[in-house]
Structure 1
Amino acid sequence: MLGLSALDLARIQFGFTVSFHIIFPAITIGLASYLAVLEGLWLLTKDRAYRDLYRFWSQIFAVNFAMGVVSGLVMAYQFGTNWSYFSAFAGGVTGPLLAYEVLTAFFLEAGFLGVALFGWNRVGPGLHFFATIMVALGTLVSATWILASNSWMQTPQGFEIIDGRVVPVDWLKVIFNPSFPYRLAHMTVAAYLATALFVGAAGAWHLLKGENTARVRTMFSMAMWMALIVAPIQIAIGDQHGLNTLQYQPAKIAAIEGHWRNEPGAKGFPLILFGWPNMGKQETEYKVEVPHLGSLILTHEWDGQIRGLSEFPAADRPDSTIVFWTFRIMVGLGMLMLLLGLWSLWQRARGDLYDSRLFLRFAVLMGPSGIIAILAGWLTTEIGRQPWVVYGVMRTSEAVSNHSALALSLTLGVFIVMYFLVFGTGLYYMLKLIAVGPQDLGPERPAPDIDLSGNTPLHERPSRPLSAAPDVSI
């Protein structure tokens, strides 16, 4: 396929499946916590808007959760099919970490998900709220184990290599490796921010349609508060994450910055805003730069310097052309998110939060920006780690299975067709649910009596797994 090697195709295939998968856990993490907040506010205030929003967004959560599970299974199988040498070498660390994720987070989520989705009129309010919190906690625990595994691959420690295999000798060091806290915080906050933008876009879209109801105003207002609070926090976390990466993966930072060399006698180095890193010429062409700003951001010193990419062996250099731009896409969208939050504060102060059509259109356009930023950040992280699959320990070329380019081309084509059919249908269904919008479900009905004979009235039974909330009333 297009002259690509088996290694290139294996990487593209894994990148494609992970790119689809990462969307769903991110929204799942954010929506689970959002549902817990909504139910807590409903119990505290008895404002029906919060309850109606819970029932509405629980439908989206159910579909999203299902697609996340399916896409995650495919991704997990690829460790054995396409990356068997990696699994044999590092499975002593990554295998248990992924198993812990299943034994703790997935069972926790699955165990309480049914109660959260179908138990609104079947269990007491306290138990239902507890179930919602457990689902939210499960999503965070899941992220913790997955990011512990990925972070170990980025900054490995706590292991020895015995007979050609990784053997963990200190699990605390394996899990709490140097980059783990920064990656966990960065990804979790990114999930909350992406969900806030997603919910905010839905609210803005309904407001633009003239559906200025209490439920729509509530979800839009909550989303804008979240964007305002979380966007600057994410920028601060990103700065600390960058400093950690500079310490442990300096070649990645040099590639991200498009910084090739320190000129003799020069003090400090500029921040290249735009340009085109040329790997062959070992320079960044057509660059627009700000003097000394790179030094201030990365060393917090006016005259500070970092190693240039040309100082690393050619075989150890990430592709600067790609990560230079994926990083700028992520940062650029982050600045727009901050602008959205500040603009919402200005509109709120003017009493025009729900009526400014220009602002509402901007909020709709920003809806997918959180997901795009997550994808751009993930590409920056993973491509910037190359040519290592376990940084400084195992090269990616040593990890790939012995498959032909033809076989990988065919399976990649099948993946592309099936993913767009299956997950495209799921995304279309979610967007249709969002287009309906939150409905006024009326006053709460008491929980029905338990009928051990199985003769529960039909209107009290869930009709199918995705019917997490009835269409009209409860």
Structure 2
Amino acid sequence: MNLLSDTVSLSRMQFALTAIFHMLWPVLSTGLAIYLVIVEAIWLKTRNPDYYYHARFWSKLYVLNFGIGVATGIPMEFQFGTNWAPFSEAVGNFFGSIIGFEASWAFMLEAAFLGIMIFGWNRVNPIIHFIATILVATGANLSTFWILTANSWMQTPAGGELVNGIFIVRDYFEAIFNPFMAVSVTHMFLGTLETSLFVIGGISAWYIFNQRNPAFFAKAFKLVLIVAIIVAPLQIYVGHLSGEQVLYRQPTKLAAMESQWETIPAGQAADWSLIAWPNEKAEKNDWEITIPNGLGYILELKKELSAPVLGLKEFPPENRPSLIPLIYYSFRTMVGIGFFLAGLMGITVIQWLRGKLSQDTINQQKWLMAGWIFAAPLGYIAVESGWIVRCVGRQPWIVYNQIRTVDAASNLPPGDVLVSLIGFASVYTLLFFTALYFGSRIIRRGPRFDLPIPGEEKPAVDTSPAKFVPDERPVEAQQ
């Protein structure tokens, strides 16, 4: 089949492009909003001006992410009406409501108070400003809740039934709290928070590595580390719970994730494929390195050997996911990054306990700071890989076991979809490099210590070398 002449394939490619690109921005803004609440709360409690300047500095990156997230999120949702009209018609009774809740409950709340958060310093009472920051963070994370609720319902539809091709809702609460919802929302929330922590930590490490205000950014670095101690291992555990759900609710996806072609009968623990190359045509792995009984231990099937592990051959080819290598390696990428970030956090905690992160020694930890700089983009890759596993692994169903993707696409001329796909790719490429330019510009310029602090007549700037290291290059070089 020629992909460039197939409407369904082109529509899937277009939605994948817009979704993957859009996800880059709310992944950071949702977690960064929580960080802004934390640093502003510390400033209100201690009146330490460092935390005020942190709030002002990191909010610039928040606004950049928010703006591009809005610009790319709206076209993504419009595709439910343009490229996936039969799907919208079939499930609009529930799915449309959830998307509407995301816009009215989450996005509008976030947007309404964003202006106060950004421009309200010295204009409103500090407590009012703090409440605005909390509401912005609440709105950002409510978006995660509603989007994951909608997607979880597509994975495990509940609360109604299809009647003449239309999903009739019998119980909205059952549909909202579908079997995948709680773990999926938690997994994504922790993923966005962990990504944000390592981005903030990586940027702070860059400043420390380059001897630019190391004492100032050490505060952000240590604050991130404290939260990461909880988030990084918890994310691994919740990811494990998600895998257990897939075992019982979507066995074809699990088989694709593990490139498991043959069914492992009850009474026998499945081996775990550490690395392999799946061959879909031959229905086998051309080569693989396995850990004996590994999958059985991972999924805790040693306790329940009465349950077989179904292989891909157990299902008709038309009911299996395609692109098995993509699903297989995306899953391992996500898991590998999760353990790497947890390991980096653990090593950093050890160094902290050894007294290596004090104000006098933190700028000597070059190798550790380099590790955090390297880790800064890895959370993005893990989140995107997880969404690939989640959505590509669900195929050939758009609503699992109820509506096929091929039946959910609009009947459009392939040429029209190809033109819009090229248009999106061109615009998003421009947006990506624009965001990189302005983001790097914000980081190169660094925080402004001359900003007036609410309640004080003059900014409390400490110009000691350990605290404030201005960039003395010419303005042209700074830009």
Per the normalisation by structure 2, the TM-score is 0.90
* Aligned pairs (5 A) from 1:347-426: 347-353=351-357, 354=362, 355-426=364-435
One-letter code aligned to 1:426? A
Alpha-carbon contact 2:3-2:9 (below 8 Å) kept: no
Structure 1's 51 and 313: CA in aligned 2 closer, same or farther, altered over 3 A? same
1-side partners of 2:221 and 2:204: how far apart? 5
One-letter code aligned to 2:88? S
Structure 1's 302 and 294: CA in aligned 2 closer, same or farther, altered over 3 A? farther
What secondary structure is seen at the aligned counterpart in 2 of 1:301?
A: helix
Residue of structure 2 equivalent to 1:241: 242
Which of 417, 436, 442 is the matching residue for 1:433? 442
One-letter code aligned to 1:169? R
- 269-278 or 291-300: bigger deviation: 291-300
Alpha-carbon contact 1:215-1:438 (below 8 Å) kept: no
Moved over 3 A (4+): 1-4, 262-266, 302-305, 445-448
Structure 2's unaligned 5+ residue stretches are 458-479
For residue 138 of structure 1, report the CA deviation from its aligned partner: 0.9
Alpha-carbon contact 2:4-2:418 (below 8 Å) kept: no
Structure 1's 26 and 331: CA in aligned 2 closer, same or farther, altered over 3 A? same
RMSD, aligned α-carbons? 1.8
1-side partners of 2:379 and 2:262: how far apart? 33
2-side partners of 1:278 and 1:262: how far apart? 17
Structure 1's 53 and 265: CA in aligned 2 closer, same or farther, altered over 3 A? closer
Residue of structure 2 equivalent to 1:14: 15
Structure 1's 127 and 265: CA in aligned 2 closer, same or farther, altered over 3 A? closer
1-side partners of 2:118 and 2:371: how far apart? 32
* Aligned pairs (5 A) from 1:3-402: 3=4, 5-262=6-263, 267-301=268-302, 304=305, 305-319=308-322, 320-353=324-357, 354=362, 355-402=364-411
For residue 141 of structure 1, report the CA deviation from its aligned partner: 1.4
What secondary structure is seen at the aligned counterpart in 1 of 2:286?
A: strand
Alpha-carbon contact 2:161-2:167 (below 8 Å) kept: yes
1:241-263 CA distance string (max 9 Å, x none): 11111111111001101111136
2-side partners of 1:265 and 1:349: how far apart? 47
Percent identity of the aligned residues? 36
2-side partners of 1:96 and 1:372: how far apart? 30
For residue 446 of structure 1, report the CA deviation from its aligned partner: 3.8
One-letter code aligned to 1:307? L
What secondary structure is seen at the aligned counterpart in 1 of 2:393?
A: helix
Alpha-carbon contact 1:121-1:447 (below 8 Å) kept: no
One-letter code aligned to 1:211? R
Structure 1's 349 and 285: CA in aligned 2 closer, same or farther, altered over 3 A? same
2-side partners of 1:28 and 1:92: how far apart? 30
One-letter code aligned to 2:166? R
For residue 265 of structure 1, report the CA deviation from its aligned partner: 8.9
For residue 264 of structure 1, report the CA deviation from its aligned partner: 6.9
What secondary structure is seen at the aligned counterpart in 2 of 1:261?
A: coil
- 174-183 or 408-417: bigger deviation: 408-417
2-side partners of 1:227 and 1:340: how far apart? 10
What secondary structure is seen at the aligned counterpart in 2 of 1:275?
A: strand
Structure 1's unaligned 5+ residue stretches are 449-474
- 287-296 or 343-352: bigger deviation: 343-352
For residue 160 of structure 1, report the CA deviation from its aligned partner: 2.2
For residue 302 of structure 1, report the CA deviation from its aligned partner: 6.7
Structure 1's 220 and 4: CA in aligned 2 closer, same or farther, altered over 3 A? farther
Per the normalisation by structure 1, the TM-score is 0.91
